[in-house]
Amino acid sequence: MLSYAETLDFLFDREVERMQLGLDRVERALALCGSPHTRFPSLHIAGTNGKGSTAALLHAVLRAAGYRVGLYTSPHLLDFCERIRLGAGWIRQQDVVDGIAWIRSRLDPAELGLTPFELMTLLAFVTFARAEVDIAVVEVGLGGRLDATNVLSPLVTTITQIGLDHQAYLGSDVARIAAEKGGIIKPGVPVVVGRMEADSQAVLIDIARRQGSPSLVYGRDFWADAGSGHFGYRGRAWQYENLPLGLAGAFQVDNAAAALASLECLTADFPVSGAQLCHGLRQVVWPGRFQIVCDQPLVILDGAHNPYAVAALVSALPEVLGGRRVSLLFGVMDDKDWPSMVPLLARIAHQAVVTRVRNPRAADPQAVAAAFAGACPTRVCSDARAACQQQLDGADADTAVVVCGSLFLVGEVLPLFPSALRGQRR
């Protein structure tokens, strides 16, 4: 039998030059494995930004209510096992090995042409079915309509903020991207439409109408108001004031609102008390998303990797900076719209270090650094972890280190902060 490392090599060595999106392959694979995706209730979440945070919030609250909850998200920061959670913990490495071996005993991934993500999704669904979870929270990998996770028949569909990203696969404008993400809306299944531009909302509302799916829309059916460390929520049935939120950044209130609206749709089958709701919201952990990993000096890690997410990060920073100067560490994928991100970051950066993310798709740091020219002192350091350590060594009480541009970059520097790692559940 393969080791854990060899199993991961098998998974990730299946990378293809260009993905051919579609459901046929994964549907055939699931059938050969006994259709595990039909053996547990699910919540399905799509969106350009915020879908992972919303999934983590739903997972935390449902766990606090006493349910056995599965969670499937991507990508991971440090360990593949982060992608598949059962209750409080990650899937065990040995269960990854055994699960992939069992799947390979039922089918030949190469013969079916399964992509890495399709095989990972199959593993997640097999794991949830075997564990007999009460419910699984499943995040879309890419887009929605043709994503491998779209084989589910969920209890509720949730779509968070929509913006420009993955245009090569999803379309060149926001309306087309919204239509792709709206492809997860199923006939008759309630859909929660989070806070987003009116044009995107309109596309999703129209899809829901044509599918005969009840829609709950931010600004029409539910609202949230951000406070200092707390927020208020008004929905069709629920009304709460001073709710706690364990995730930093005012933008997380929008994600919490989408999560609460989704939970409102579940009350008949998965009731949650006010006390359980507060406990889950307070205890939620979602690393790498406006995560404060150190107080002295202040260090913030955020996986913002598109202009909308960077704008949200820049807008949220003043609430925690306390007048500190920003020492920025930025690394990004070349297929992201980094030319639009740089001016946003240059507004708040006192100095910037541009690095190369350890990924074949990484942008050339020299080219990115040139875009910062004239805005703030900028240098290049190709070793991300060394660059971050240098920033930490040179920071004083009046400096905050902000790391952003890619979750892959966050994963590279996170080991520098052992206390933050201890907060993750294995």
Confidence of residue 163 (pLDDT cuts 50, 70, 90): low
Asked if residue 17 has pLDDT above 70, the reply is no
Confidence of residue 419 (pLDDT cuts 50, 70, 90): confident
Region 170-175 average pLDDT: 63
Asked if residue 1 has pLDDT above 60, the reply is yes
The DSSP bridge partners found for residue 400 are 298, 326
Q: Which residues contact 120 (CB under 8 A, 6 or more apart)?
A: 11, 74, 83
Confidence of residue 21 (pLDDT cuts 50, 70, 90): confident
Asked if residue 171 has pLDDT above 50, the reply is no
- Structure confidence at residue 40 (pLDDT): 99
Asked if residue 168 has pLDDT above 50, the reply is no
The DSSP bridge partners found for residue 148 are none
Q: Which residues contact 348 (CB under 8 A, 6 or more apart)?
A: 314, 317, 326, 328, 402
Give the integer Cα–Cα distance in Å for 361 and 369. Answer: 17
- Structure confidence at residue 426 (pLDDT): 46
Region 21-40 average pLDDT: 95
Computed over every residue of the chain, the mean pLDDT equals 93
- Structure confidence at residue 423 (pLDDT): 52
Q: Chain-centre distance of CA 245, in angstroms?
A: 17
User: Tell me, which fold does domain 291-422 have in CATH?
Assistant: Protein-Tyrosine Phosphatase; Chain A (3.90.190)
According to CATH, the superfamily of the domain at 4-283 is Mur-like, catalytic domain (3.40.1190.10)
- Structure confidence at residue 27 (pLDDT): 97
Region 156-168 average pLDDT: 75
44 Rama sector, left if φ>0, alpha if ψ -120 to 50, beta otherwise: beta
Confidence of residue 43 (pLDDT cuts 50, 70, 90): very high
- Structure confidence at residue 347 (pLDDT): 93
pTM of the model: 0.93
Task: Name the segment(s) of the chain with CATH classification 3.90.190.20.
Answer: 291-422
Q: What is the pLDDT of residues 318-339, one digit of tens each?
A: 989 999 999 999 999 998 999 9
Structure tokens at 63: 């766990």
Structure tokens at 241: 């004031």
Q: What is the pLDDT of residues 233-264, one digit of tens each?
A: 999 999 999 999 999 988 899 999 999 999 99
Confidence of residue 354 (pLDDT cuts 50, 70, 90): very high
What is the percent of the chain where pLDDT is above 70?
94
Task: Name the segment(s) of the chain with CATH classification 3.40.1190.10.
Answer: 4-283
The three-state DSSP-derived secondary structure of the chain is CCCHHHHHHHHHCCCCCCCCCCCHHHHHHHHHCCCHHHCCCEEEEECCCCHHHHHHHHHHHHHHCCCCEEEECCCCCCCHHHHEEECCEECCHHHHHHHHHHHHHHCCHHHHCCCHHHHHHHHHHHHHHHHCCCEEEEECCCCCCCCHHHHCCCCEEEECCCCCCCHHHHCCCHHHHHHHHHHHCCCCCCEEECCCCHHHHHHHHHHHHHHCCCEEEECCCEEEEECCCEEEEECCCCEEEEEECCCCCCCHHHHHHHHHHHHHHCCCCCCCCHHHHHHHHHHCCCCCCCEEEEECCEEEECCCCCHHHHHHHHHHCHHHHCCCEEEEEECCECCCCHHHHHHHHHCCEEEEEECCCCCCCECCHHHHHHHCCCCCCEEECCCHHHHHHHHHHHCCCCEEEEEECCHHHHHHHHHHCHHHHHCCCC
- Structure confidence at residue 164 (pLDDT): 56
Confidence of residue 13 (pLDDT cuts 50, 70, 90): confident
Confidence of residue 15 (pLDDT cuts 50, 70, 90): low
